[in-house]
């Protein structure tokens, strides 16, 4: 008991006093007298006494343990979030691989050799992805959750220890003030001593337990990180090894198919098309009269056609389709007139372009470009940057994340604090929620960028 009670003389200058508690050293730093405290009975003095702020008990060793604890919790939380992002990416890659294999099964004709083997390889590919994802969950994510599960209880006990330390300081200060009073009341001193002993016992029990647990928890992080990343690395290595075998088997099946057909290049004679005149704008000059049109070849080995790049070129202005018709017909139309041949050529040229290109080109011809005016952006959230569309379902794992379904459109906005943005994550609000509620604070959240595709 005597080791925790210190008598500070009023005449002596403030100085640190070291107290020993079961082998742990606590430093008591008396504060200098506040000139606002006119008497021990003043309001500020009573508040300081009640809160134990007249002097402060410090434990530098414990404070360092708390700093390590907070750092360890921050690192573990980030690792958990990144691991969940990794698992979500594995699941997305699994879905993409599955769709690709389904496409192969559809194009693989029944009379081709090796069809059954290709289907079996696709099934094994799907099972391998499922097994890889499940083992990552069991050996990494669940272990991560168990590791972080011990932090909330310890964090609450640290906070409770702080409150009990304040109670102890308050009881100690009250006991010291009674001892140094000019007129001593033995009954009050005895009661204050009893309260001090009780406060000391409660604080001491919590303090000793945490003094033992915090260093042990801090040292356990090394083994946890080693086991976690070793498990991930081992699972990934085995996954790629098995996947390599499946890919080699699929390659053998395709090589056999290639040999069965003798050659991997097939020439298909293109049929004459009514749209031929409209293609005059795709080449510098039309072929001479009477000369046969060049016959394109379709190659299975995906060798690019020489005219592919030129054929994909967009008209630079609305006048170019008319020029194409002029070249094809040989006679320019009169100014201000639109002949039927010109209209047919323009429609044919438009039909040969992708849908997005045709839509953009038509809007330009009509003199209207969507998104060109600022009026369309008035209904967007503040700071709107661009739109993205979810390509896969995403299940939110935290309260600040968005729940996405494939096809959902998200309006991307900047983070309020750029330092809070993690790599591969965006802040936004679902377009449907924004149109319905117009409440940014309630609707916005973060989501993984690799689950979406930019559309604007």
Contacts (Cβ under 8 Å, ≥6 apart) of 410? 387, 388, 389, 390, 402, 404, 426, 428, 429, 430, 431, 447, 452
Amino acid 438: pLDDT: 84
Mean pLDDT by 10 residues, the chain (456 residues): 38 46 50 41 48 65 92 94 95 95 92 91 95 95 92 91 86 85 83 88 88 93 94 96 95 90 56 45 42 44 43 42 41 44 46 43 41 51 91 86 92 87 89 87 89 86
Q: Do domains 63-261 and 381-454 have the same CATH topology?
A: no
- Distance (Å, whole) CA 282 – CA 275: 12
C-alpha of 125 from chain center: 27
Amino acid 54: pLDDT: 54
Fold adopted by 381-454: SH3 type barrels. (2.30.30)
Amino acid 328: pLDDT: 41
Amino acid 27: pLDDT: 52
- Distance (Å, whole) CA 324 – CA 376: 35
The arrangement of secondary structure in 63-261, i.e. its CATH architecture, is Up-down Bundle (1.20)
Amino acid 182: pLDDT: 80
Find the distance separating the first CA and the last CA of the chain, reported in whole Å.
73
Amino acid 262: pLDDT: 63
CB 287 within 8 A of CB 328: no
Question: Would you kindly state where each structural domain of the chain is located, as residue ranges?
Answer: 63-261, 273-282+316-331+340-372, 381-454
């Amino acid at each position: 008991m005597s080791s925790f009670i210190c008598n500070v003389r009023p005449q002596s200058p403030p100085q640190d006093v070291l107290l020993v508690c079961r082998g742990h050293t606590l430093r008591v730093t008396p504060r200098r007298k506040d000139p606002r405290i006119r008497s021990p009975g003043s309001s500020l003095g009573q508040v300081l006494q009640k809160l134990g702020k007249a002097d402060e008990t410090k434990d530098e060793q414990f404070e360092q343990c708390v700093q390590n604890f907070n750092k360890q919790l921050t690192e573990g939380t980030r690792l958990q979030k990144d691991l969940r992002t990794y698992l979500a990416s594995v699941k997305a890659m699994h879905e993409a691989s599955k769709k690709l294999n389904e496409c192969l099964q559809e194009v693989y004709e029944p009379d081709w050799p090796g069809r059954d083997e290709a289907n079996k390889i696709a099934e094994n590919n799907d099972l391998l992805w499922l097994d890889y994802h499940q083992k990552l969950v069991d050996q990494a994510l669940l272990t991560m959750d168990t590791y972080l599960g011990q932090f909330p209880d310890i964090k609450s006990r640290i906070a409770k220890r702080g409150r009990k330390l304040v109670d102890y300081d308050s009881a100690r200060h009250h006991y010291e003030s009674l001892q140094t009073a000019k007129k001593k009341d033995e009954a009050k001193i005895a009661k204050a001593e009893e309260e001090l002993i009780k406060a000391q016992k409660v604080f001491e029990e919590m303090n000793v337990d945490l003094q033992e647990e915090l260093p042990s928890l801090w040292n356990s992080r090394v083994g946890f990180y080693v086991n976690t990343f070793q498990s991930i690395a081992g699972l990934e290595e085995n996954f790629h090894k098995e996947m390599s075998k499946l890919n080699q088997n699929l390659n053998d099946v395709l090589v056999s198919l290639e040999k069965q057909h003798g050659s991997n290049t097939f020439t298909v004679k293109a049929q004459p098309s009514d749209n031929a005149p409209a293609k005059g704008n795709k080449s510098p000059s039309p072929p001479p009269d009477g000369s046969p049109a060049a016959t394109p070849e379709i190659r299975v080995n995906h060798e690019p056609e020489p005219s592919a790049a030129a054929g994909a070129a967009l008209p630079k202005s609305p006048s170019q389709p008319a020029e194409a018709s002029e070249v094809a017909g040989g006679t320019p139309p009169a100014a201000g007139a639109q002949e039927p041949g010109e209209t047919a050529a323009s429609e044919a040229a438009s039909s040969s372009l992708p849908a997005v290109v045709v839509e953009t080109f038509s809007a330009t011809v009509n003199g209207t470009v969507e998104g060109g005016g600022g009026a369309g952006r008035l209904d967007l959230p503040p700071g709107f940057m661009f739109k993205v569309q979810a390509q896969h379902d995403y299940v939110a794992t935290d309260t600040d994340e968005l729940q996405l379904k494939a096809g959902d459109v998200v309006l991307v906005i900047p983070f309020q604090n750029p330092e809070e943005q993690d790599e591969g994550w965006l802040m936004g609000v679902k377009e449907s929620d924004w149109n319905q509620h117009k409440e940014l604070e309630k609707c916005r959240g973060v989501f993984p960028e690799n689950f979406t595709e930019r559309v604007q």
